[in-house]
Amino acid sequence: MILAILLIVVIQGVPLIQGLLMSLKDFHPGRGLLSSPWAGLRNYADLFTNHEFLKAMGLTLGMNVEYLLLSSVIVFGAALAISGISSARVKEWIVSLLVLPFFIPTAVLAILALNVWDSASHSSVLDALANPGSFTLTVLLLRLVQYGGIPLLVALIAISARQSAIRQDMPHGSVSYWTSTVAPAARAVAATTVLQLAYLLSSNPELIFVLASPLMERAHGGIDFFIIIEGVVGVDFSLSSAAWIIRFILQLLLMVAVYFLIRGLLVKDLFPQPEDGVGRTFGGSRLAGVIVASTGVASVLAILYLMYLRPHLSALPGEMTVGNALPLPSFATYLFGAMLLSVLTAMIAAVLAYPLTVKRLHGGMLYRLALIFALCASGGISIHQYYAFQQLGLINTMIPILITGLNPVAAAFVLKSLFNSRYAPLKKQAELEGRGELETFFTLFIPKTWKSIIALSVLQFVSVWNTVLPSWLYSSRPIYWSPVGNMLMFQQAWTGGSPFIYLLSGIVALPPLILFFIFRKWLVRSVLSKGLVKS
């Protein structure tokens, strides 16, 4: 694992040290980092008296708490209702469709919402979103549509696992609805909510950027938006780095606390056994399940309708072609880069995950904490990382986009959890037999996890493909922009109507959706249900 660790240290550790130094200096790009004068803690003191920074932090916390409360209530109610549907196959397809928006680019969902809003209302969308209340509500609803299917999946699997255990223990006895359904759903929803607390200080900058109105104060976009605008637009690198360091330290503490809480108390609720997938359950109202499922599925089908049917029901502009808006060289370059990165990430994740399965590993807890540190350091866009790439002459190339998209640590934790939940006894037996770790890695770990490794590489591809900001920040050359970024740039200048934008949205969302349907079972039954990956 040494090469993988060194790679993470270079990618995450070096920029982090530069960011810390930058936050302690009065940085001037012309002088360079080492020659800029020291400022001590002045930048941090300025932040805590900066009204916009405090407002951005408060808004990020407030929006995340509101989202967690809203999603917990809705997911809990939906899980109870959908569990009343007796058919396991029908229920699995329902949940798969509700998970599907997770694979659609965030910017695409936002653009679809804006265009539908603009078509259905005579009022100005920008004026409406300049209102903090309307802006917050729009962000919450779009996040719920995109991410709500995953905790719902976990809750339904928990119900199915609990009821399966009841059938085995009490084949002829009667069990209350509370014990068989309500309690496991509540525990699973609580567990996923606690897991998301690790990201309490992270906003969704992609979503914020698309929805942000020119009339809106930058503080209304949250802490990530503040960091980006302060560094890129305000060119105050030191203040931007100080804000990032504060967010990093607080989020690291949250991640460590959540890790130990889940590890000690909630792991069984996050990785229920023995049921694999959303099985047949008993109890509950079938009518309520049909109503709730129909509502959720209808919203997802409406999104697919806008992208793949609506454009063909209207006349498209004859003077404009898809190639003008989505240049093929850029599309192909980014596709190749994302595929290459997904394979590399899967390989590194497997190497990083395996030591976590070794019970007698000396310094195992220190290794886990180091990985959590690296995971936290990879969060968000930072101006000091941009500076590091600039010093290396990598700006306006594909390399910074791929490096910032490399996220093997989260995948390593997921892979470790999936392996331990099923094959820990086999690993222990191999250790007792004296089989070497290298032999066990290739003869046990890889053969038992190869499907999960492929599924995680798919998620890595989706993560890089669906992003916008890194390609814009690190390159001024459109050939290196993500297809979503090219579409968004075109959409901002397009005045020819929504159908053509819907068509472009469907094209850029097609690769991740194709991968989702190809690997649906591996993703839904394994990685997303038990791995709980967070974009």
**Token pair for residue 233?**
């637009």
Residue 175: count of CB within 10 angstroms of its CB: 16
pLDDT given for residue 385 in this prediction: 85
CA pair distance 347, 343, nearest whole angstrom: 6
Half-sphere exposure in the Cβ direction for 478 (13 Å, CA)? 13
pTM comes to 0.89
CA pair distance 170, 89, nearest whole angstrom: 25
**Token pair for residue 66?**
């509101």
Buried b (16+ CB within 10 A) or exposed e, 4-36: bbebbeebbeebbebbbbbbbbebeeeeebeeb
Q: What is the CA radius of gyration of the chain?
A: 24
Q: What is the DSSP string of 188-222?
A: HHHHHHHHHGGGTT---HHHHHHH--TTS-GGGG-
Please tell me the total number of residues recorded for the chain in this structure: 535
Among candidate residues 288, 273, 29, the one with its CA nearest the CA of residue 160: 273
Residue 314: count of CB within 10 angstroms of its CB: 12
**Token pair for residue 71?**
């999603």
pLDDT given for residue 494 in this prediction: 81
Query: Is the CB of residue 462 less than 8 Å from the CB of residue 99?
Result: no
CA pair distance 375, 112, nearest whole angstrom: 31
In angstroms, the Cα distances linking 104 to 91, 224, 293 are 21, 21, 20
Residue 487: count of CB within 10 angstroms of its CB: 27
Query: Is the CB of residue 194 less than 8 Å from the CB of residue 269?
Result: no
CA pair distance 311, 61, nearest whole angstrom: 39
Q: What is the pLDDT of residues 275-313, one digit of tens each?
A: 556 665 655 678 888 999 999 999 999 999 999 999 888
pLDDT given for residue 278 in this prediction: 66
Segments of the chain scoring below 70 in pLDDT = 120-128, 130, 167, 169-175, 213-220, 265-284, 318-319, 529-535
3-class DSSP string for 79-119: HHHHCCCCCHHHHHHHHHHHHHHHHCCHHHHHHHHHHHHHH
pLDDT given for residue 300 in this prediction: 95
Burial of 511 (0-12, 13-18, 19+ CB in 10 A): buried
pLDDT given for residue 314 in this prediction: 77
CA pair distance 315, 454, nearest whole angstrom: 40
CA pair distance 57, 202, nearest whole angstrom: 10
Long-range interactions of 24-29: CB distance < 8 A, separation 24+: 25/238, 26/238, 27/237, 27/238, 27/241, 29/237, 29/387
pLDDT given for residue 476 in this prediction: 86
